[in-house]
Structures are given as C-alpha cells and as structure tokens.
C-alpha cells in the first residue's frame, strides 16, 4: 500500500504545481512579456517557449483566459473538482457569454468527468462534409450537402442570376470573402498614424500598392519578421520607420509583422 500513498502525495504535488504554473502564466499573459521574446501569442509561447504539446498548451491557455474573469477556478483545479480538460471543453462554448453565465456554467461542470462535460456541450454534427484530395495539378473537393443545404444553394444561385453555376458561385464567394478580409486588414493596420507627415510624393504613405504588398509578403516568406517569431496568422505590412515619424512606403522601410507584434511595436 506504501506505493499508493506515495502516489497520492505526488498527485497532490502535481495539482499544486499545475495551479502554480497557471498563476505564473497569468502574470505572463497580463504583462504580454512573451511578445518581446518573439512569440505572437501566449499559445505560441506555451508551445515554442515552454515545450508543451499543442493540445496541452490550448488547455493552459483556456484556463488562463477563463481564470482572468472567473478566478476561483484556479482553486477548484487545485482541489481537483475541476479538470483542465473540462475547463477547456467549456471554454470553447463560453467565448461570447457574460461573466455571470461563465461562472454558472463552470459551476455546473464541477466534479464531472471529461466525458460527461463533453456530453453537456454536444452539438449536432454538421451535415456539410468536404472530402479533399490533392493531386499534382489540381485539388479535388467532394462536397456532401443535406437536401436543405442544397435548396439554399439553389436559391442563392437563382438569386444571383442565371449566369452562375455552382462553380462560378463558389469562386465568387471566395473572391468576395478574400476581398473583405484584405480590406479589413488594410483598415486595421496602424489606425493612429497621421496621414500627411513626410509623404515623399503626393501619395498617402500608408497606401501600399498590391504589387509592393505582395513583394514584401513574398520576401518575408509569408511570416512575421519580428525576431524569433514565425507566425503566419493575421499578417500586416509595417512601416519600420513609422509614418507618423516621417517614414514612407519605400520598399526598404516595409516589413511583415503579425498583428500581435504590430500592436506591440505600437
């Protein structure tokens, strides 16, 4: 039986360490100190900086985020009435809920197994299925729809006028979505910079031509160029010497930053 008691003791220690780590991670998240180290997010820091697997990192990150609003969950994890995996499952479904709602749901999952918690949040499986096969010269997408979804698709096709078949409709949707995304990115990058300062020509130095933009992105290999970071998410074109301090849109003054490092640079 000795070995059992030894394991019990170690298990206690393990729980204590988990909550100690969560506390420290909270500090790290509050100070955003990981940005200076070249990480684009707490998640990236957990994976590349601390060597957690992606799944484990996701759990830690979910706990830190939820504990910011509902701090008592740390003690509950400590005592064992809440597990990291239960908290993570709940986290995915709580994103847009109020703090009161979060607190209520977290209370309701106490002392439940991961399986029970998963069952509580079970969503109907989507009826749209895509099977993707890649070949050298093309990509095959096999799309499986329910009759209801197909009716919606037919309706959209009809509304869009008859020149559309499913193929052109799909291409149009993709182009439209991409354009929306690009516009949003252009608007969100550096909103505070003054427009007139130091512009070499009559042109607004914040405006970068598509060709130049693509060139900067290509040179950066579509990755953030902040030292140590290689994020390929939410990339923005940054003026190395800021526009508000007289920087212009010359090629040598442009680099790629992820949105976290662009914000961090300020």
Which parts of this chain interact with Zn ion (CB under 5 A)?
40, 224, 226, 229, 231, 258, 261
Determine the Cα–Cα distance for residues 159 and 151; give it in Å rounded to an integer. 12
Please, which residue, 34 or 226, has the CB nearer to Zn ion? 226
3-state secondary structure of 82: coil
Please, which residue, 90 or 258, has the CB nearer to Zn ion? 258
Please, which residue, 174 or 240, has the CB nearer to Zn ion? 240
Provide, rounded to whole angstroms, the least separation between the CB of residue 24 and Zn ion. 22
Determine the Cα–Cα distance for residues 257 and 188; give it in Å rounded to an integer. 13
Contact criterion met (CB below 8 Å) for 141 and 131 = yes
Determine the Cα–Cα distance for residues 45 and 37; give it in Å rounded to an integer. 9
- Residue 139 class from Cβ within 10 Å (0-12 exposed, 13-18 middle, 19+ buried)? exposed
Q: SS in 3 state form for 99-167?
A: HHHHHHHHHHCCCCCHHHHHHHCCCCCCCCEEEEEECCCCEEEEEECCHHHHHHHHHHHHHCCCCCCHH
Please, which residue, 189 or 231, has the CB nearer to Zn ion? 231
Provide, rounded to whole angstroms, the least separation between the CB of residue 75 and Zn ion. 34
Provide, rounded to whole angstroms, the least separation between the CB of residue 41 and Zn ion. 9
DSSP-derived letter for residue 203 is: S
Provide, rounded to whole angstroms, the least separation between the CB of residue 36 and Zn ion. 11
Provide, rounded to whole angstroms, the least separation between the CB of residue 232 and Zn ion. 9
Please, which residue, 89 or 262, has the CB nearer to Zn ion? 262
């Amino acid at each position: 039986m000795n070995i059992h008691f030894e394991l019990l003791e170690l298990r206690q220690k393990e729980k204590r360490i988990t909550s100690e780590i969560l506390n420290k991670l909270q500090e790290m998240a509050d100070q955003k100190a990981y940005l200076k180290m070249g990480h684009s997010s707490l998640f990236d820091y957990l994976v590349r900086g601390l060597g957690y697997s992606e799944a484990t990192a996701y759990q830690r990150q979910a706990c830190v985020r939820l504990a910011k609003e509902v701090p008592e969950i740390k003690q509950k994890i400590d005592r064992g009435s809440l597990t990291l995996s239960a908290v993570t499952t709940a986290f995915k479904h709580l994103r847009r809920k109020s703090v009161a709602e979060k607190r209520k749901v977290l209370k309701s999952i106490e002392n439940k197994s991961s399986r029970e918690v998963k069952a509580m949040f079970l969503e109907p499986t989507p009826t749209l299925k895509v099977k993707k096969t890649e070949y050298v010269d093309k990509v095959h997408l096999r799309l499986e729809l329910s009759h209801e979804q197909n009716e919606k698709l037919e309706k959209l096709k009809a509304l869009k006028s008859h020149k559309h078949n499913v193929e052109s409709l799909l291409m149009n949707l993709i182009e439209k979505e991409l354009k929306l995304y690009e516009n949003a990115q252009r608007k969100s990058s550096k909103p505070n910079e003054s427009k007139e300062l130091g512009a070499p020509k009559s042109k607004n130095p914040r405006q970068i031509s598509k060709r130049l933009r693509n060139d900067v992105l290509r040179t950066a290999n579509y990755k953030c160029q902040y030292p140590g970071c290689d994020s390929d998410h939410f990339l923005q074109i940054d003026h190395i010497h800021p526009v508000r301090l007289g920087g212009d849109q010359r090629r040598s003054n442009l680099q790629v930053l992820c949105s976290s490092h662009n914000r961090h640079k300020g």
